[in-house]
């Protein structure tokens, strides 16, 4: 395949794009003509690995975004009044002087050899990655408000971007970063510096408009902040060399995730944290929570993966000690609290936090009784807490989201600090009957005998019952508001009751063995359907699902899917071809006809409707693993038919 053009509708979303596949240069002209004729439909144009040379046709389109990637012979000259975003990826062209995009707002360049480009002077946002940035030095760029430089070669930051407000510098300089150069940007509001050592923040005090500063993976830092304007500071995975000063009286958000010598940092600068609303201390050791007692304005606190050394070792925890959360009783104003993977045995102190609305206790071995007073809770995560019942939750009538997944075991790959937990038995969910305001519930990876109680939770919109060893879901009939349902890995489950769930838009029934898909016919609102790895032989019932956008039927036993009109189709490892096809059978038109009737898309295009189809088909490995070379070459003559009917299937790479 020599390349392809790709276009997306003007009001594109994750399901809306058009792909135009070309296997020879001469087919580009016909595709371009189609683009011109239906230009009002498209919002985005991608030109990828194409032999196309002339880009002047873009002027006749109404696209807002253009991507040019890995094109060797392209002539960098075109004009457009509608293009607002241009992305150039791995181009060997050195000069981009003859491009006139008067409304260009965003320019992204990755891995190109460009030495001259006049577009830099026009854009508001400029992103450069894996580039030699000397091409933008010694020039004045008054329009650039956002500059992102990532993994680029540059000797200094002497770039005339006097009006820049957002600056990201990520692993860019071959030598140490001179912060002093940044002080010339007097309008700077947001700064992000990643992967540099020996940084001294003192010069940043000259930036009187700076409100957000973020440093990540920076070692041997000298911290010296003095500002009444900075409201957000992030020091993520950084190591401190010296603390010379810290006066940020109006700081609202502080993220010191995985930060070296955190205890000293807090003790010495506690006066600067009085106005904190949001604090992230995750992945830190030697945390002394009592230091937070004076932070009376704190509303959001993240202590996930934190440890202390002042409590006896829990024998179930390897290389970890329990965290003492007792000082949290003074934080009654807290609204959000994350104690994920803290090795907790008791949470008695949480009974005092009566204003909590969101609580994460994932992966702690705890008794839930202290939670029964937290009646303001809206979101509660109890995944991996080794529960056998949930009686303590029955008074939490305001709960809208509840995660009770994985109560019978913990995966070492997900939680490397946890070892040798045995299954704790079956989970009794009868007490959920009072939680009638629940909208999202996850019970996956549990041993549950009886789910009858779920019929009372009529407000449920999202439900996960994967890996629950269920055979029948008859009780779900009454859940008329259910929109998303996961039933994966329930062997030989009877899905007949699903016919009553007519509001479903997403349904996954993967690895369930013998299932009967006729029950899915009434589900006319389904957009996404996952039927991966079952024993489905024929797919005729699926042709009635007219709203279906994405269908995954990999690893089944399908032999014929000619009647299904779909947009995204994964057919790998079925039996679509019962034997190696003849040269005539492999013709492109026949494959399209067997996979997907193309008529409705063509009509939609001719009527200039924004039909919003994606039509991506992945054939992958079916009964045959390879196709004859002469058969593949025979596809070339049929690419014109693709252009004419605007069919977009990206399965060429699988035909090897």
CATH of the domain at 327: 3.80.10.10
Please indicate, yes or no, if residue 231 is contained in any of the structural domains: no
Cβ 7 vs Cβ 46: under 8 Å: yes
Last residue of a domain, one of 77, 100, 123: 123
Our CA angle for 467, 470, 472, nearest 5°, is 145
Q: Is residue 443 part of a domain?
A: yes
Boundaries of domain holding 17: 1-123
What are φ and ψ of residue 87, in 5° steps? -125, 125
Is 351 a residue whose pLDDT tops 60?
A: yes
Instruction: Work out how many domains the chain is built from and give that number.
Output: 2
Q: Of 418, 445, 469, which one is at a domain's C-terminal end?
A: 469
Beta-sheet strands, E only, within 293-451: 300-302, 336-338, 358-360, 379-381, 401-403, 440-442
Q: How confident is the model at residue 624, as a pLDDT?
A: 40
Q: Is the pLDDT of residue 504 over 50?
A: yes
Please give the average per-residue pLDDT across 380-395, as a whole number. 95
Of the chain, the end-to-end C-alpha distance in Å amounts to 11
**pLDDT tens figures, 615-648:** 344 445 454 433 333 333 333 333 344 434 333 3
88 domain-assigned: yes
Q: Does residue 197 lie within any of the structural domains?
A: no
- Residue 44: the pLDDT is 78
363-398: b or e for each residue (b if 16 or more CB lie within 10 Å)? bbbbebebbebbeebbbbbbbbbbbeebebbebbee
What is the model's pLDDT at position 578? Answer: 47
For residue 476, the number of C-alpha atoms closer than 13 Å in the C-beta half-sphere is 28
Residue 94: per-residue pLDDT: 81
Q: Is 274 exposed, middle or buried (0-12, 13-18, 19+ CB in 10 A)?
A: middle
- CA angle, residues 362, 281, 246, in degrees to nearest 5: 170
With respect to residue 213, please indicate whether it lies within any of the assigned structural domains.
no
Least confident range from 9-13, 73-77, 492-496: namely 9-13
90 found inside a domain: yes
**Which of 80, 95, 123 is at the close of a domain?**
123
Contacts of range 609-613, beta carbons closer than 8 Å, 24 or more positions apart: 610/9, 610/10, 610/11, 610/41, 612/9, 612/11, 612/13, 612/15, 612/16, 613/16, 613/18, 613/567
Question: Does residue 162 sit within a domain?
Answer: no
Judge whether 211 lies within some domain: no
**What does the pLDDT average to over 45-71?**
82
Q: Considering only 113-127, 137-151, 365-379, 414-428, which range has the smallest mean pLDDT?
A: 414-428
Environment class of residue 2 by beta-carbon count within 10 Å: exposed (0-12), middle (13-18) or buried (19+)? Answer: middle
% pLDDT > 70, the chain: 72
CA–CA gap between residue 574 and residue 532 (Å, rounded): 11
Computed over its alpha carbons, how large is the radius of gyration of the chain? 29
């Amino acid at each position: 395949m020599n390349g392809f053009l790709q276009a997306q509708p003007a009001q594109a979303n994750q399901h809306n794009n058009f792909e135009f596949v070309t296997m020879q240069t001469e087919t580009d002209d016909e595709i371009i003509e189609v683009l011109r004729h239906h230009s009002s439909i498209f919002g985005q144009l991608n030109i990828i690995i194409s032999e196309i040379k002339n880009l002047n046709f873009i002027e006749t389109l109404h696209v807002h975004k253009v991507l040019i990637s890995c094109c060797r012979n392209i002539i960098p000259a075109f004009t457009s009044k509608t293009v607002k975003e241009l992305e150039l990826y791995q181009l060997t062209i050195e000069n981009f002087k003859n491009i006139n995009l008067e409304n260009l707002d965003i320019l992204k360049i990755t891995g190109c050899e460009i030495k001259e480009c006049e577009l830099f002077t026009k854009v508001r946002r400029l992103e450069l990655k894996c580039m030699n940035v000397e091409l933008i030095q010694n020039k004045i760029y008054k329009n650039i408000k956002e500059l992102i430089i990532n993994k680029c070669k540059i000797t200094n930051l002497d770039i005339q971007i006097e009006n820049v407000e957002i600056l990201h510098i990520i692993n860019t300089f071959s030598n140490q970063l001179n912060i002093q150069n940044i002080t010339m940007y007097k309008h700077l509001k947001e700064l992000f510096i990643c992967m540099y050592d020996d940084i001294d923040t003192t010069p940043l005090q000259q930036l009187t408009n700076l409100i957000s500063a973020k440093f990540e993976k920076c070692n041997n830092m000298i911290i010296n902040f003095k500002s009444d304007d900075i409201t957000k500071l992030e020091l993520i995975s950084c190591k401190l060399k010296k603390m010379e000063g810290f006066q940020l009286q109006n700081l609202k958000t502080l993220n010191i995730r995985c930060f070296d010598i955190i205890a000293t940092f807090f003790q010495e600068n506690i006066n600067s944290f009085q106005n904190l609303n949001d604090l992230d201390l995750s992945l830190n050791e030697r945390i002394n929570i009592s230091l937070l007692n004076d932070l009376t304005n704190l509303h959001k606190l993240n202590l996930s993966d934190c440890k202390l050394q002042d409590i006896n070792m829990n024998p179930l925890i390897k290389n970890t000690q329990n965290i003492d959360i007792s000082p949290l009783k003074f934080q009654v104003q807290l609204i959000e609290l994350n104690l994920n993977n803290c090795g907790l045995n008791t949470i008695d102190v949480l009974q005092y936090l009566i204003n909590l609305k969101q609580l994460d206790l994932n992966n702690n071995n705890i008794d839930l009784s202290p939670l029964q007073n937290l009646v303001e809770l809206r979101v509660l995560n109890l995944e991996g807490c080794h529960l056998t019942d949930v009686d303590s939750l029955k008074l939490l009538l305001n709960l809208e989201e509840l995660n009770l997944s994985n109560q019978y075991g913990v995966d070492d790959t997900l939680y490397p600090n946890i070892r040798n937990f045995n299954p704790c038995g079956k989970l009794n969910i009868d007490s959920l009957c009072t939680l009638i305001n629940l909208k999202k519930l996850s019970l996956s990876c549990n041993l549950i005998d009886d789910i009858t109680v779920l019929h009372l939770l009529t407000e449920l919109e999202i439900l996960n019952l994967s890996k629950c060893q269920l055979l029948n879901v008859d009780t779900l009939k009454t859940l008329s508001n259910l929109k998303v349902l996961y039933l994966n890995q329930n062997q030989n489950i009877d899905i007949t009751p699903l016919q009553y769930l007519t509001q479903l838009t997403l349904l996954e029934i993967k690895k369930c063995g013998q299932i009967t898909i006729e029950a899915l016919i009434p589900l006319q609102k389904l957009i996404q359907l996952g039927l991966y790895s079952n024993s489905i032989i024929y797919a005729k019932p699926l042709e009635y699902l007219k709203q279906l956008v994405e269908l995954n039927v990999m690893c089944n036993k399908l032999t014929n899917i000619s009647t299904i009109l779909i947009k995204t189709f994964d057919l790998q490892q079925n039996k679509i071809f019962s034997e190696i096809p003849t040269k005539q059978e492999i013709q492109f038109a026949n494959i399209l006809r067997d996979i997907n009737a193309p008529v409705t898309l063509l009509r939609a295009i001719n009527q200039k409707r924004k039909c919003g189809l994606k039509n991506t088909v992945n054939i992958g490995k079916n009964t045959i693993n390879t196709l004859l070379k002469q058969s593949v070459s025979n596809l070339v003559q049929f690419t014109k038919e693709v252009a004419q009917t605007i069919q977009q299937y990206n399965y060429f790479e699988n035909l090897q």
